[in-house]
Chain A
Amino acid sequence: MTTTESSDEFTPATTDEARDFLAENAAGAGRAIFPVGGRTALHYGYASTQPGIAFSTLRLNRTIDYPARDMTITVEAGIRMDELTEILKAEGQRLPIDVPQSSRATLGGVLATNTSGPRRFGFGTLRDYLIGISSIDATGKTFSAGGRVVKNVAGYDLCKLMIGSLGTLAVITQATLKVIPQPEASRILWCAAADWQAVETALENLLTSATRPVALEVLNANAAHEIAAEARLDLPADGPVLCIGFEGATRETEWETETMTAELQTAGIRDVAVVADAEPLWFALTDFATSSDEPLTFQANLRPSRLVEFAELATSAGVSLAAHAGNGIVIGHLPDTVTTLDAAVKILSPLQTLAHEADGNLVIFDCDETWKQTIPVFGQSRQDRALMQRIKQQLDPRDILNPGRVFTKNAVSAAQ
């Protein structure tokens, strides 16, 4: 998109510098501003409708306050996720959000894109952890919302508004997060199912399982091979794979993996492998969302009960697919053989239709920019779109923050 093409870039060292720059720009040239962090998600959304300046948060990366005993942390938005993880780890704590490319991704970017991964089933998403935020809007006005305490309902929850807003409302400069203790143990149970029906039976049985998984992943064989190879593990993957994660006290996770193994057997799944050193597999499952050389990557959201149906259809079209099955979120990569827009649309159309029928949507994460003229990046238009635009208008009256990225002016878009 335009940000990567532009040589113009501003990297403030302080939030005051950031504010002054935005205020001067808003009062003067009014050029488009593209907030960027680790640049891991620039492909997400429509291309900008006008040239402008990349606004990098990378130097805004300080830890402002970490009262570990209160289990909250306040950091600047440009901090890399790996660095944040290390800081928290030193105190036996963590932010339980799985972030692809975590060595590059910044907290601000992760918030702006509402990133999540497999463990969202057990721990929720960023909206469950962000308790305070500071941002600068497109007029150069710094505003904060929330605070530094874990429970707080004073004022409108602009934290929620900023999560997933793709840098179109304001530049996030600082965030306060609630954190949780590191678990004593983390294990993943991997098993190959004979067919999709067996996966559905297993998922239904999981609703009454005595265990409490923190991740419930469904992979098709293509994705399973890719992920196992990435994690350097020799795991069975003849058909669809169920990948179930447990975290907690050691004896708890041991009991859970044993119990789950027995429960899966009653559901007709026998080929079960317990991965005790789960870390490389968690990484591989998380990074699957950003495999870089695929022609198109999408995320569908649908009712969990429709997931297997969707996975079956996608698999038959050659899509490599991993799903957070408990949440109804599917990540898919179109096969390398897809080189034309027509071929992509042919695969996507029935999947989009199914996602809509399942009360959800299909969003494009990444594809050839020219394809976005035809494929609706944000899926089916939502009823509250006009209201979203009114909010955008309030915070960015001149439309200078990531113009067109969400509310595109492209003629052909179901998001319009």
Chain B
Amino acid sequence: MPETATISTIPAEALEALRRIVGESSVLSAHEQVLVYECDGFVIEKNTPDCVVFPETTEHVVAIVKLCNEYKIPFVPRGAGTSLAGGCLPVGGGVMIALTRMRGIHDVNLRDHYAVVGPGTVNVHLTQHLKGTGFHYAPDPSSQGACTIGGNVATNSGGPHTLKYGVTVNHVLGAEVVLPDGEVVQFGGYTEDNPGFDLTGLFVGSEGTFGVCTKVIVRLTRDPVAYRTMLGVFETVEDATQAISGIIGAGIVPAALELMDQGIIEAVEPAFHFGFPLDAGAVLLIEVDGLEVAVDGEAEQIVALCEQNNAREVRKADSPQQRDLLWKCRKKAFGAIGRLSPSYCTQDGVVPRTKLPEILKFITEASARHDIRIVNVFHAGDGNIHPILLFDERDAEQIKRVLLASDEILNRCIELGGSVTGEHGIGVEKINFMNKLFTEADLETMESVRLAFNPTGLCSPQKMLPTAGACGMEHIEKSHPARRAAL
């Protein structure tokens, strides 16, 4: 195919109409242009959209969605594409609505504790905007330097501070949404406890299947007065997880409790030179925050609990610079993995916190069984594990083993009473787990709720529910071209 050729299968007149709506330069349809949008952070499944449009206003989104309805073209919203489960994969092509230009911070109201932002606002930009006000937006996914708040809303993102502050839904007061038929509605609002059903709560985490978010009203949180950030160094992962149980069991809710195992330390240390001991089995990044009068007591208790659980040492970040570097190591850990492997697949299982030792042992065994190196960095306080499977995506045999190991790990999470996703979502990646997590009746109910929002199924088709428009397996086959090829 010539590089400049248009591969769109949508009618030329529809493409023309899209250009009229948003302007010539805001529609991409050439093959090399849309190739960038063939996947998100989940690189195993790929499919190009027919075209990508960049609306700048709610009115643009309405016009695009109405046009898609007119021509019966599927459409899928997309933020920065940092999602990790194929949530914005354009299954079946169609129009991709990229919301990155709707990035305005429209209003900040400290007295009423909210900000109104466009869905394309990069998470960290809001944090930077609020610096010095005494308030912040609490959800801080590790990808916050790139991911958008609209995307966070779609996936109900968490982050290292979820343990104390909760996930995205706990910080969203309302949303303006263009429904799949083009109608604009506002869920929630500037105030709490609006009468009627909590459609804001339902919308957050619906992975783009209920409509296109065009505005988000987020709750702002007071900055903590004081932090104590610590690094517990352990000989073994088991000791580290026992320490976690000890800390939580003592009634302390740290602001963050993150575990990095030896494998990930090997990647992070050469990249950031924090001084992580390369021979340690695991390190725990522990942060408590709150009042100056309270944090020292909690920190002392945590140090004692780590020591009781055989910590080799517990270091305290004694300057803001050291704290920043420690957090940089954690948040950019994924970026450092490039030092270990050309490709990686991050899993996102969850187990009850007390089952962490069990699942980590299972991961080690699965790694050996399938000869796939797996390293771990995760939100231990929530029981949310992120085994990172290292492989070379040019080798189909390795992909096959990665998928098998991933499936085994996630199945084990279910057996231990957990879930297959703590924060990345179902997308297309985990659709075949839905039948294991939920009964047919559960899925039917979810489907019926989706039908209330999205009766034609044109908005983000083939996502999340295996029952969507077909019986389970057909759907899985349709949305998993690469997986089918690998297996």
Show the binding face of A for B, using Cβ within 8 Å. Answer: 67, 69-72, 92, 114, 116, 124-125, 127-128, 137, 141-145, 147-161, 163-165, 169, 180-182, 204, 207-208, 210-212, 248-249, 251-252, 255-256, 299, 301-305, 326-329, 358-361, 363, 378-379, 382-385, 387-388, 390-391, 393-395, 406, 415
Interface 1/0 per residue, B189-211 and A, CB below 8 Å: 11111111111111011100000
Contact A391 B434 (CB under 8 A): no
Q: Contact at B111–A415, with CB atoms within 8 Å? A: no
B437 contacts A147, C-beta separation under 8 Å: yes
Contact with A along B173-192 (1 / 0, CB 8 A): 00000010000011101111
Contact of A301 among B170, B194, B205, B253 (CB under 8 A): B194
- Interface positions, chain B 306-357, Cβ under 8 Å from A, are 350-354
Q: By the criterion CB–CB under 8 Å, are A153 and B192 in contact?
A: no
A365 to chain B, nearest CB (A): 11
- Are B112 and A304 neighbours in the complex by a CB distance under 8 Å? yes
A143 and B441 contact, Cβ closer than 8 Å, known pairs A154-B420, A156-B446: yes
The CA-CA distance from A92 to B113 in the complex, in Å, is 32
Q: Tell whether, in the assembled complex, residue B156 and residue A142 are in contact, meaning their CB atoms are under 8 Å apart.
A: no
The smallest beta-carbon distance between B469 and chain A, in angstroms, is: 16
Which residues of chain B have C-beta atoms less than 8 A from A169's C-beta?
A: 197
Q: Tell whether, in the assembled complex, residue B112 and residue A160 are in contact, meaning their CB atoms are under 8 Å apart.
A: no
Question: Which residues of chain A are near B190, meaning CB under 8 Å?
Answer: 303, 359-360
Contact present for A69 and B245 (CB under 8 Å): yes
Please determine whether A154 and B421 come into contact, CB atoms closer than 8 angstroms: yes
In the bound assembly, the distance between CA atoms of A69 and B190 in angstroms comes to 37
Note all chain B residues with C-beta closer than 8 A to A127. 169-170, 198, 201
How far apart are the CA atoms of A302 and B448 in the complex, in Å? 33
Whether B202 pairs with A157 at a CB distance below 8 angstroms is: yes
B198 touches A72 (CB 8 A): no
CB–CB B248/A382 < 8 A? no
Alpha-carbon distance A163/B450, docked complex (angstroms)? 18
Judging by beta carbons under 8 Å apart, are A384 and B297 in contact?
no
A248 / chain B contacts, CB cutoff of 8 Å: 290-291, 294
Q: B56 CB to closest chain A CB, in angstroms?
A: 23
| A155→B446 contact, CB < 8 A | yes
How far, in whole Å, are A361 and B189 apart by their CA atoms in the complex? 11
Residues from chain A with a CB closer than 8 A to the CB of B439 are: 142-144
18 A-B residue pairs with Cβ-Cβ distance under 8 Å, sorted by A, are: A70-B354, A137-B445, A142-B441, A143-B444, A143-B445, A152-B350, A153-B426, A154-B420, A156-B205, A158-B445, A164-B198, A207-B134, A301-B194, A326-B113, A358-B191, A360-B194, A378-B196, A384-B186
B451 CB contacts on chain A under 8 angstroms: 394
Further pairs besides A149-B418, A154-B419: 8, Cβ < 8 Å: A145-B438, A145-B446, A151-B382, A156-B450, A161-B202, A208-B134, A304-B113, A361-B194
Are A141 and B186 within 8 A (Cβ)?
no
Whether B196 lies near A151 (C-beta < 8 A) is: no
B223 CB to closest chain A CB (Å) equals 11
Instruction: Give every chain A residue within 8 A of B167 (Cβ-Cβ).
Output: 151, 153
Chain A proximity of B182: nearest CB distance (Å): 13
* Cβ-defined contact, A160 with B201, below 8 A: yes
Q: How far is the CA of A290 from the CA of B191 in the complex (A)?
A: 22
Of B193, B198, B225, B430, the residue contacting A160 (CB under 8 A) is B198
B201 CB contact (under 8 Å) in A67, A161, A181: A161
The reply to whether A302 and B169 contact each other, CB–CB distance below 8 Å, is: no
Name the residue of chain A whose CB is nearest to the CB of B293: A255
- B251 and A328 form a contact (CB under 8 A): no
Q: Which A residues lie within 8 Å of B248 (CB)?
A: 69, 71
What is the minimal beta-carbon distance from B161 to any residue of chain A, in angstroms?
12
Instruction: Tell me which residues from 49 to 83 in chain B have a Cβ below 8 Å from any Cβ of chain A.
Output: none
Contacts A363-B195, A378-B195 given; indicate if A153 touches B170 (C-beta within 8 A): no
Q: How far apart are the CA atoms of A387 and B454 in the complex, in Å?
A: 11
Q: B residues 406-430 with Cβ under 8 Å of A?
A: 417-426, 430
Q: How many residues of B contact A (CB 8 A)?
A: 87
CA distance A207 to B110 in the complex (A): 8
The answer to whether A163 and B198 touch (CB under 8 A), given A151-B383, A151-B384, is yes
Q: Please determine whether B445 and A149 come into contact, CB atoms closer than 8 angstroms.
A: no
CB distance from B339 to the nearest CB of A (A): 28
Once bound together, how far apart are the Cα atoms of A159 and B179, in whole Å? 21
Asked if B158 is an interface residue, CB under 8 A from chain A, the answer is: yes
B294-A151 in contact (CB<8A): no
Q: Inside 8 A of A303's CB, which chain B residues have their CB? A: 112, 190-191
Residues of A near B11 (CB, < 8 A) are none
Once A161-B198, A161-B449 are accepted as A-B contacts, the answer to whether A301 and B193 lie under 8 Å apart by CB is yes
Complexed CA–CA distance, A359 and B187 (Å):
13
| A388 contact set on B, CB distance < 8 A | 196-197, 199
Q: Is the CB of B245 within 8 A of A160?
A: no
Q: Which residues of B contact A (CB under 8 A)?
A: 109-113, 134, 155-156, 158, 162, 166-167, 169-170, 179, 185-187, 189-202, 204-206, 222, 225, 245, 248-249, 251-253, 290-291, 293-294, 297, 350-354, 379, 382-384, 417-426, 430, 433-434, 437-439, 441-446, 448-453, 464-465
CB-based contact A157/B197 at 8 Å: no
| CB-CB under 8 A for A155 and B186, given A378-B195, A382-B194 | no
B294's partner among A128, A252, A360 (CB-CB below 8 A) is A252
**Complex Cα–Cα for A72 and B452 (A):** 32
Specify which of A149, A164, A204, A305 is in contact with B419 (CB 8 Å cutoff): A149
Who on chain B is nearest to A114 by CB? B193
Rounded to whole angstroms, the CA-CA distance of A155 and B169 in the bound complex is 14
Given A151-B379, A155-B438, residue A361 in contact with residue B253 (CB < 8 A): no
Q: Which residues of A contact B293 (CB under 8 A)?
A: 251-252, 255
Q: In the complex, which of the residues A208, A304, A385 has the most CB atoms of chain B within 10 Å of its own CB atom? A: A304
Whether A153 and B422, one on each chain, are in contact in the complex, defined by CB atoms closer than 8 angstroms, is yes
Tell me whether B426 and A150 are in contact (CB under 8 A): no
B200: which A residues are within 8 A, CB to CB?
160
Please state if A152 and B419 are interface contacts (CB–CB under 8 Å). yes
Is A391 within 8 A of B197, CB to CB? yes
Q: How far is the CB of B294 from chain A (nearest CB, A)?
A: 4
A339: shortest Cβ distance to chain B, in Å? 26
- Please determine whether B191 and A360 come into contact, CB atoms closer than 8 angstroms: yes
Closest to B170 in A: A128
* In the A-B complex, the 3 residue pairs with the closest CB atoms: A160-B201, A181-B251, A143-B445
Contact B191 A204 (CB under 8 A): no
Q: Which chain A positions have C-beta within 8 A of B290?
A: 212, 248, 252
| Given A128-B170, A181-B253, A301-B191: A153 and B423 interface contact (C-beta under 8 Å) | yes
Establish whether residues B352 and A149, one from each chain, have CB atoms under 8 Å apart when the complex forms. Answer: yes
B81 to chain A, nearest CB (A): 18
Contacts of B185 in A (CB 8 A): 383-384, 387
The answer to whether B423 touches A151, judged by C-beta atoms less than 8 angstroms apart, is: yes
Partner of B422, one of A151, A328, A359, A390: A151
A157 and B205 contact, CB distance less than 8 A: yes
Q: Which of B199, B245, B424 has the most CB of A within 10 A?
A: B199
**A299 — nearest CB in chain B belongs to which residue?**
B193
Other-chain residue from A157, A249, A252 in contact with B156 (beta carbon distance below 8 A) = A157
A361, B194: Cα distance in complex, Å = 7
Complex Cα distance, B455 from A394, in Å, reads 11
CA A378 – CA B197 in complex, angstroms? 12
Closest B-chain residue to A360, C-beta based? B191
* CB of A213 to closest CB in B, whole Å: 10
Q: How many Å lie between the Cα of A382 and that of B251 in the bound state?
A: 42
Least Cβ–Cβ distance between B86 and chain A, in angstroms: 14
Q: Give the residue of B202, B205, B442, B453 whose beta carbon is less than 8 angstroms from that of A153.
A: B205
List, in ascending order, chain A residues with CB within 8 A of B225's CB: 210, 212
Contact with B197, one of A128, A155, A165, A212 (Cβ below 8 angstroms): A165
Shortest Cβ distance from residue B243 to the other chain A in the assembled complex, whole angstroms: 14
Report chain A residues within 8 Å CB of B112.
Answer: 303-305, 328
Q: How far is the CA of A164 from the CA of B200 in the complex (A)?
A: 13
In-complex Cβ contact of A157 among B111, B134, B201, B444 (8 A): B201
Chain B residue nearest in CB terms to A128: B170
Q: CA A275 – CA B424 in complex, angstroms?
A: 45
